[in-house]
Structure 1
Amino acid sequence: MKLRQFLIVAALGAVTALAGCTTGGGIFTADYGSKKDAGYQLPAIPIGQVPQKYHRQVVRYKTDEKPGTVIVDTKDKFLYLVMADGKAMRYGIGVGREGFEWNGTSRVALKREWPTWTPPAAMIGRQPELAKWRGGQPGGLSNPLGARAMYLFNKGGDTGYRLHGTPEWSSIGKAMSSGCIRLINQDIIDLYDRVDVGAKVIVK
């Protein structure tokens, strides 16, 4: 085979491999387009501006935890949903900024679509402009909890922490929140559909 023909074949092979990877294989880069959900039109995410390691993808993951468990790696900014056969679905996340970090074991007690967000009194104290939402901000595209929220409880009750969506896609991979674990809206919808009420959540 001549060099030019070889290069063309190699290039086509690379494109085919990439297409398979993004549409049905290990990484779901193609799943961040605009979509309608419960009457809301979620905008497309400029996913090319998000580092590829934070795109939703199936990865090899060694753990003794059973499938269905959620493991949050706050250091590397990944959330893993444990699957069978030594695999996990991995999502990029945003985590608590300095002074708002936390870790521990909890469970998903409640799940809500397009949830109401009620800022805690301490947050209103830091940001008085949030007082208007003291009674709760209705769900919607600008709501800080995004398209879905899963409420984390432990033996003491509500931890106050959530796994939730965010319209601030650029915060993924960063420590910017008040302690909650945030995901791109398209990712929290995917995770929400996979996680059961009662699921164990480990934050480390």
Structure 2
Amino acid sequence: MTEPVFARGRLSLRATSLLLAASLVALVPTIAASPARAQALGYAPAQSGAFSDQDVVHNPALTDEDSALPDRFRRAIVSLDTHEAPGTVIIDTGNTYLYYVLGNGRAIRYGVGVGREGFTWAGVQSVSHKAEWPDWYPPAEMIRRQPYLPRFMAGGPGNPLGARAMYLGSSEYRIHGTNDPTTIGKFVSSGCIRLTNEDVSDLFNRVNVGTRVVVLPKSAPLRSGTVQARGGSGTRPRPLVTTLPSGRQAMTVPVSAVN
């Protein structure tokens, strides 16, 4: 008698399990197809591709830094009489401007921060490397002057190199962003050229590896002509280039960390 009873009990349990599994399979498409039903059950429907590590880590939103700049340092298209080829970058150290030559007598002008007293330089270089949200390794000479500086800082919004960097030849000089836009238009760095993160990102997208970069000495400012986007005036530029000093380490840090 025990054998038939055991068999019936086993059959009943198996049938119950199959019915439960079938009910769950039928329920899943209904839940997946109904966001309202999903929220009512205490969770939100999944959105494929809504987030990625790249969006979170490598592309933080840039604030509207240009809105805080004086008008004369805001990005603008200006008339520029130069013999430099389109695509050339010209650094006007004396007036704290950077020009990206468009050709046909026009250029994009950006406000920049440049080297402080004793750290300005002049010469011709080319872009040897580009980096997004670059890491910062203060050079040995800077650490000797300011031993409290970190030996390494990972790239990011708090990094003094800002959102983008364009390295100049094999030197320590570079064109880069800044986490302190109030330094634009000032002589504050150790020789590097800094722009707001918005402006350096715009320039970064225009400049290629190999781009010619002409840095004019502080004593020979370049003057552009009529500003086509905002007001201004000037005369024919007089490019003057001297030899790039050798052996000098150059990097920038927030103004509060500079002696």
TM-score, normalization: structure 2? 0.60
In 1, distance between residues paired with 2:164 and 2:66? 20
Q: How does 1:169-184 map to 2 (within 5 A)?
A: 169-184=181-196
The residue aligned with 1:142 is 158
Superposed CA offset, 1:119-144 (max 9, x none): 011111111111x32xx311001111
C-alpha distance in structure 2 between counterparts of 1:46 and 1:57, whole Å: 11
| Sequence identity (%) | 51
Deviation sequence 1:55-102 (CA, Å, 0-9, x none): 001000010010000000000000000002110010000000001110
SS in 2 for 1:170: helix
- Does structure 1 residue 128 correspond to structure 2 residue 147? yes
Aligned to 1:43: 63
Structure 1 unaligned segments of length 5 or more: list them: 1-35
Is 1:202 aligned to 2:202, yes or no? Answer: no
From 143, 165, 185, the counterpart of 2:197: 185
CA distance in 1, matches of 2:127, 2:187: 22
- In structure 2, how many angstroms separate the alpha carbons of the residues matched to 1:185 and 1:108? 18
Residue of structure 2 in register with 1:23 after alignment: none
Does the 8 Å contact 2:66/2:74 carry over to 1? no
Structure 2 residue runs without a partner (length 5+):
1-55, 217-259
Question: CA–CA distance in 1 between the matches of 2:57 and 2:87?
Answer: 24
Residues 1:56 and 2:79 aligned together: no
Amino acid at match of 2:118: G
**Residues 153, 159 of structure 2: 8 Å contact kept:** yes
What root-mean-square deviation, in Å, do the aligned CA atoms of Structure 1 and Structure 2 show?
A: 1.4
TM-score normalized by the length of structure 1:
0.76
How far apart, CA to CA, are the structure 1 residues paired with 2:160 and 2:148? 14
For residues 39 and 184 of structure 1, the distance between their equivalents in structure 2, rounded to whole angstroms, comes to 16
Deviation at 1:38, TM superposition (A): 3.2
Cα distance, 1:46 vs structure 2: 6.5
Structure with max Cα Rg: 2
| Paired position in structure 2 for 1:159 | 171
Could you tell me how far apart the structure 2 residues matched to 1:126 and 1:93 are?
24
1:144 partner amino acid: P
Structure 2: distance between partners of 1:109 and 1:194: 15
**Which SS does the other structure have where 2:171 is aligned?**
strand
**Conserved? CA contact 2:131–2:166, under 8 Å:** yes
Distance in structure 1 (CA, Å) of the matches to 2:182 and 2:59:
24
Query: For residues 123 and 77 of structure 1, what CA distance do their matches in structure 2 show?
Result: 23
Determine if contact 2:124/2:214 at 8 Å carries over to the other structure. yes
